[in-house]
């Protein structure tokens, strides 16, 4: 192949990009002005940062936004919009999301849309983050980008009461000192009664607002504790309940057939969600975990977690000759959705976490 | 970068339906400014001394070759102005100029390009920087000179009051680094996602050990360099001379054949090699499992191949008509040795499918 002249190659790519921009821009302009899931916005509050906001959900109240940018480096919580897909190339930073009123969007400018198929993985990633099955901390390769661009952009959109308190700007401090000096002089002159009364009222209002927020927080905290206690009780009851006797066998035992199996190896990473397609006929999901990369343990246990809550714990797993442990879980116990499999080992008298694996179960497409 | 370097004006003038030929002078101006910016960034990041293949420019020995810089400017132009045209236009509606954003995009381009084409160098840098930052925030290390954001010029010490003159020389760091790599490889290069943090924590532990071994200060660049050079040398050591007259076994030939594809491509093959590596990357993600971990192992082999492609031509030449030693390759990449022949076959099949696809695209 004859190599193309670098300038010719660049001009051709630019020409295609400008044409594509024209087509996409016309499509966006033809739609009504209302924000809609899939829309991209540049907002006045964050215009100083190279981010666009993707509308993920819109309700009558707030809209959920997620930050997007054109830095191609991806972390475990990000979703890429490929270059060939509408709106791309973009990196959707699911760990940088927030809710804003629709008015904020109406003040901003819609700059494009992303293809609808991108919204599904974004919503799934947000669910996983909310459930705590993904870590929101940036990966080492993205630390700088997060600190310099994403975190300040998000902070700029947050309402003032939610922003982290920092030292007041220096000119405010100077002004505060000057104002205080004036007040002191006026007080010395004894002419401050009306102002003092207003100041006092303001202070009372502020105090009552603080009290209200403290009460609100206490109420939320106690509600949270109550829910936790209820969950613990349920869990304790489940653990104490004696094992139910096996149901009477009315038919001869049958072999398990049509198993779907999934093998998990250490090193499969968090965030790399694995999909397991299960055909209709499958009655059991056969899970196999490789444990040969670490010192052998006498016994293993597997906890299956759904949306951050334990669903099932299987104990007394023994290693097989192939350095694997295996579990067959009835399909009826695992509906479609995302799960976390936590493997622990009883090694040298202590319990060790050996691996956390994530998978999403779904019906096999017919 | 000057706010009047013309990037903003160039972008403002580009509108659908308007012929590009009208902006010839602007285009030339932007091209020159982009070349200047890239060269200064290459030097700032110490990439100027590495072979251009580390940034996907194959077939040129050094950056002094003007073709190498022109090719890089073209790749960067497409990345910044063509692929990100919509986003730049979006930002331009709210900003008086986008010169700062262009600079960020150029840096992102270099970051991403090095990650793809020089996986060893890139990974060593990012993991070591993250480990150093961890030690800094724990108060175990202090920046005593250079950029506090931990760049090449940063000098670090285990106690305040140390002077930059006390920084250990590269030769003094090397023996320590060799021991670290015994423990960290291959995870340092092949770990993905969550596992990167684990390998970072291991490196941080080694870093803390330097103080106990009597080293009080060091230059970040020297440590990166020592780690990187040792990692690269170990990867190169996998190639061994094939004995004269003994025909290659099919499975050996499989991997060697793929490796030859990425060695010293001619000028005509640069773009094809780019596309071959990109196609292989995508194809590996679609490989069926079981056999278990096939994708993970193929990714590791691909990282190895990319690193091989990024080696300077004379280093590739030194390997002669070499073959990878199965034992060493298995050890280096932590792949069970008995799995290698099948993996080689799969990789060769994928490479052939990719070549067919690429030549089909070119002929159509």
B215-227: pLDDT as tens digits = 889 999 999 989 9
pLDDT given at position A53: 96
Residue B119 has pLDDT above 50, yes or no: yes
Put simply, the answer to whether A272 touches B296 (Cβ < 8 Å) is no
Let me know: does B151 contact B212? Beta carbons within 8 Å. no
The total number of structural domains that make up chain A: 3
pLDDT in tens, B178-198: 899 989 988 888 887 778 888
What confidence tier does B6 reach under pLDDT thresholds 50, 70, 90? Answer: confident
**Do A205 and A318 have their domain in common?**
no
Average the pLDDT over A285-307 and give the result: 84
- Report chain B residues whose CB lies below 8 A from the CB of A9: 74, 78
Average the pLDDT over B64-82 and give the result: 94
Report the SS3 class of residue A318: coil
Average the pLDDT over A61-79 and give the result: 90
Chain centre to alpha carbon of residue B151: 17
Q: Which residues pair with A284 in a beta bridge?
A: A330
**Do A140 and A230 have their domain in common?**
no
**Do A37 and A142 have their domain in common?**
yes
pLDDT given at position A251: 53
Is A314 inside any structural domain?
Answer: yes
- Tell which of A138, A162, A186 closes a domain: A162
Cα dihedral B95, B99, B103, B108 sign: positive
**Do A150 and A207 have their domain in common?**
no
CA distances from B314 to A291, A324, B59, B62, B320 (A): 43, 46, 11, 12, 10
d(CA A261, nearest CA chain B) in Å: 10
Task: List, as one string, the DSSP characters of B77-114.
Answer: HIIIIITTHHHHHHHHTT-S--HHHHHHHHHHHHHHHH
Q: Which residue of B has its CA nearest to A8?
A: B74
Backbone torsion region of residue B76, taken as left when φ is above 0, otherwise alpha when ψ lies between -120 and 50, otherwise beta: alpha
Say which residues have a Cβ less than 8 Å from residue B127's Cβ, sequence separation at least 6: A140, B188, B196, B199, B200, B203
**Of chain A residues 263-322, which have a CB less than 8 A from chain B?**
263, 265, 267-272, 290
Q: Which residue of B has its CA nearest to A147?
A: B149
pLDDT in tens, A206-222: 555 555 555 555 566 66
Which tops the pLDDT comparison, B278 or B316?
B278
Let me know: does B357 contact B305? Beta carbons within 8 Å. no
Residue A165 has pLDDT above 60, yes or no: no
**Do A275 and A234 have their domain in common?**
no
Residue A319 has pLDDT above 60, yes or no: yes
What confidence tier does A174 reach under pLDDT thresholds 50, 70, 90? Answer: very low
Which tops the pLDDT comparison, B328 or A112?
A112
Q: Which residues pair with A324 in a beta bridge?
A: A290
Instruction: Among B193, B200, B267, select the one facing A3 at the smallest CB separation.
Output: B267
Which tops the pLDDT comparison, A152 or A338?
A152
- Report chain A residues whose CB lies below 8 A from the CB of B293: 265, 267
CA–CA separation, B75 and B88 (whole Å): 17
Average the pLDDT over A164-180 and give the result: 41
Question: CATH code at A271?
Answer: 2.60.40.1220
* pTM (predicted TM-score): 0.64
Specify the pairing of strand A350-363 against strand A337-347: antiparallel
What angle, 0 to 180 degrees and rounded to 10, lies between the N-to-C axes of helices B340-363 and B326-333? 90
Phi/psi at A186 (nearest 5 deg)? -60, -40
Residue B143 has pLDDT above 90, yes or no: yes
Which residue, among B217, B135, B128, has the nearest Cα to B177 in the 3D structure? B128
Say which residues have a Cβ less than 8 Å from residue B106's Cβ, sequence separation at least 6: B34, B37, B38, B41, B76, B80
d(CA B81, nearest CA chain A) in Å: 7
Q: Which residue of A has its CA nearest to B359?
A: A1
CA distances from B270 to A91, A326, B259, B276, B362 (A): 28, 48, 15, 10, 13
d(CA A74, nearest CA chain B) in Å: 10
Put simply, the answer to whether A9 touches B70 (Cβ < 8 Å) is no
Put simply, the answer to whether B14 touches A18 (Cβ < 8 Å) is yes
- Report chain B residues whose CB lies below 8 A from the CB of A290: 292
Average the pLDDT over A106-121 and give the result: 90
**Of chain A residues 131-170, which have a CB less than 8 A from chain B?**
135, 139-141, 143-144
Least confident among A103-112, A261-270, B97-106: A261-270
Residue B212 has pLDDT above 80, yes or no: yes
| Strands, E assignment, A180-283 | 260-264, 274-278
Put simply, the answer to whether B74 touches A9 (Cβ < 8 Å) is yes
Residue B242 has pLDDT above 60, yes or no: no
Residue B245 has pLDDT above 90, yes or no: no
What confidence tier does B88 reach under pLDDT thresholds 50, 70, 90? Answer: very high
Average the pLDDT over A26-53 and give the result: 89
**Do A93 and A202 have their domain in common?**
no
Let me know: does B114 contact B144? Beta carbons within 8 Å. no
Task: List, as one string, the DSSP characters of B121-172.
Answer: HHHHHHHHHHHHHHHHHTTS-EEEES-TTT-TT-EEESSTT--GGGEEPHHH
- Report chain A residues whose CB lies below 8 A from the CB of B285: none
Q: Is A47 on the interface with B (CB under 8 A)?
A: yes
Put simply, the answer to whether B130 touches A40 (Cβ < 8 Å) is no
Specify the pairing of strand A39-42 against strand A109-113: antiparallel
Which tops the pLDDT comparison, A163 or B163?
B163
State chain A's mean pLDDT as an integer: 76
Chain centre to alpha carbon of residue A19: 35
Report the SS3 class of residue A316: strand
Is A255 inside any structural domain?
Answer: no
d(CA B187, nearest CA chain A) in Å: 10
Percent of chain A whose predicted confidence (pLDDT) is above 90:
22
**Do A90 and A154 have their domain in common?**
yes
d(CA A85, nearest CA chain B) in Å: 11
**Do A39 and A154 have their domain in common?**
yes
Q: Is A29 on the interface with B (CB under 8 A)?
A: no
State chain B's mean pLDDT as an integer: 82
Which tops the pLDDT comparison, A239 or B211?
B211
Q: CA-based diameter of chain A, in Å? A: 101
**Do A235 and A266 have their domain in common?**
no
CA–CA separation, B40 and A242 (whole Å): 72
Question: CATH code at A152?
Answer: 2.30.30.110
Burial class (CB in 10 A: 0-12, 13-18, 19+), B277: buried
**Do A218 and A323 have their domain in common?**
no
Is A7 inside any structural domain?
Answer: no
Q: Which residue of A has its CA nearest to B68?
A: A6
Cα dihedral B47, B48, B49, B50 sign: positive
Put simply, the answer to whether A50 touches B127 (Cβ < 8 Å) is no
**Do A232 and A271 have their domain in common?**
no
- Report chain A residues whose CB lies below 8 A from the CB of B191: 267
Average the pLDDT over A74-88 and give the result: 88
Is A180 inside any structural domain?
Answer: no
**Do A212 and A118 have their domain in common?**
no
pLDDT in tens, A181-207: 444 454 444 444 444 445 455 555 555
CA–CA separation, B141 and B207 (whole Å): 10
Put simply, the answer to whether B112 touches A50 (Cβ < 8 Å) is no
Q: Which residue segment(s) compose the domain that A200 sits in?
A: 195-239
Is A77 inside any structural domain?
Answer: yes
pLDDT given at position B239: 62
Q: Which residue of A has its CA nearest to B130?
A: A140
d(CA B253, nearest CA chain A) in Å: 26
Is A174 inside any structural domain?
Answer: no
Instruction: Among B74, B133, B290, select the one facing A10 at the smallest CB separation.
Output: B74
Q: Which residue of B has its CA nearest to A263?
A: B292
């Amino acid at each position: 192949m004859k190599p193309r002249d670098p300038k010719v190659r660049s001009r051709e790519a630019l020409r295609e990009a400008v044409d594509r921009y024209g087509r996409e821009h016309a499509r966006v302009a033809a739609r009504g002005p209302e924000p809609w899931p899939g829309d991209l916005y540049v907002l006045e509050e964050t215009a100083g940062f190279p981010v666009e906001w993707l509308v993920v959900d819109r309700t009558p109240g707030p809209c959920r936004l997620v930050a997007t940018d054109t830095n191609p480096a991806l972390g475990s919580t990000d979703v890429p919009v490929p270059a060939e897909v509408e709106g791309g190339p973009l990196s959707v930073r699911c760990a940088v999301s927030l809710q804003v009123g629709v008015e904020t969007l109406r003040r901003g400018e819609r700059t494009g849309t992303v293809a609808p198929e991108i919204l599904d993985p974004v919503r799934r990633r947000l669910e996983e983050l909310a459930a705590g099955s993904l870590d929101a901390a940036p990966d080492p390769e993205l630390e700088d980008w997060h600190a310099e661009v994403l975190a300040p952009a998000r902070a700029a959109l947050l309402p003032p009461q939610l922003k982290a308190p920092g030292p007041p700007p220096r000119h405010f401090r100077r002004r505060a000192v000057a104002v205080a000096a004036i007040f002191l002089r006026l007080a010395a002159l004894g002419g401050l009664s009306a102002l003092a009364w207003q100041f006092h009222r303001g202070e009372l209002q502020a105090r009552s607002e603080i009290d209200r927020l403290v009460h609100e927080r206490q109420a939320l905290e106690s509600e949270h504790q109550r829910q936790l206690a209820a969950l613990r009780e349920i869990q304790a009851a489940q653990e104490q309940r004696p094992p139910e006797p096996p149901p009477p066998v009315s038919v001869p035992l049958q072999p398990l057939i049509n198993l779907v199996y999934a093998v998990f190896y250490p090193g499969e990473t968090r965030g790399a969600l694995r999909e397991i397609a299960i055909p209709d006929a499958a009655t059991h999901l056969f899970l196999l975990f490789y444990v040969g990369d670490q010192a052998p343990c006498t016994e293993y246990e597997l906890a299956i977690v759904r949306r951050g809550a334990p669903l099932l714990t299987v104990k007394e797993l023994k290693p097989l000759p192939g350095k694997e442990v295996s579990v067959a879980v009835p399909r009826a116990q695992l509906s479609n959705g995302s799960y976390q499999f936590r493997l622990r080992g009883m090694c040298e008298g202590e319990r060790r976490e050996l691996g956390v694996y994530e998978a999403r179960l779904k019906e096999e497409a017919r | 970068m000057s706010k009047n370097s013309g990037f903003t004006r160039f972008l403002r003038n580009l509108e659908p339906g308007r012929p590009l030929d009208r902006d010839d002078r602007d285009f030339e101006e932007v091209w020159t400014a982009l070349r200047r910016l890239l060269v200064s960034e290459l030097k700032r990041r110490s990439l100027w001394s590495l072979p251009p293949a580390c940034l996907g420019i194959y077939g040129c020995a050094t950056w002094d070759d003007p073709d190498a810089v022109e090719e890089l400017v073209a790749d960067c132009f497409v990345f910044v102005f063509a692929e990100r045209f919509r986003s730049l236009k979006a930002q331009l509606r709210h900003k008086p100029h986008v010169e700062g954003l262009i600079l960020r995009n150029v840096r992102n381009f270099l970051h991403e390009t090095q990650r793809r084409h020089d996986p060893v160098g890139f990974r060593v840098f990012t993991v070591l920087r993250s480990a150093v930052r961890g030690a800094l925030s724990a108060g175990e290390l202090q920046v005593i000179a250079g950029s506090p954001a931990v760049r090449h010029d940063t000098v670090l010490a285990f106690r305040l009051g140390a002077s930059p003159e006390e920084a250990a020389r590269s030769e003094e760091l090397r023996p320590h680094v060799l021991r670290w790599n015994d423990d960290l490889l291959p995870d340092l290069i092949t770990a993905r996602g969550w596992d990167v943090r684990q390998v970072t924590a291991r490196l941080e532990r080694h870093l803390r050990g330097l103080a106990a071994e009597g080293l009080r200060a060091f230059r970040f660049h020297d440590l990166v360099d020592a780690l990187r050079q040792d990692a690269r040398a170990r990867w190169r050591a996998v190639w061994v001379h094939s004995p004269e007259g003994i025909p290659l076994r099919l499975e050996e030939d499989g991997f060697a054949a793929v490796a030859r594809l990425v060695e010293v491509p001619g000028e005509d093959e640069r773009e094809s090699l780019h596309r071959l590596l990109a196609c292989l990357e995508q194809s590996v993600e679609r490989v069926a499992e079981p056999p278990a971990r096939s994708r993970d192992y193929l990714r590791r082999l691909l990282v190895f191949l990319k690193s091989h492609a990024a080696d300077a031509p004379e280093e590739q030449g030194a390997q002669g008509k070499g073959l990878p030693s199965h034992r060493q390759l298995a050890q280096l990449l932590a792949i069970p040795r008995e799995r290698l022949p099948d993996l080689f076959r799969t990789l060769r099949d994928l490479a052939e499918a990719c070549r067919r696809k690429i030549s089909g695209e070119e002929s159509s």
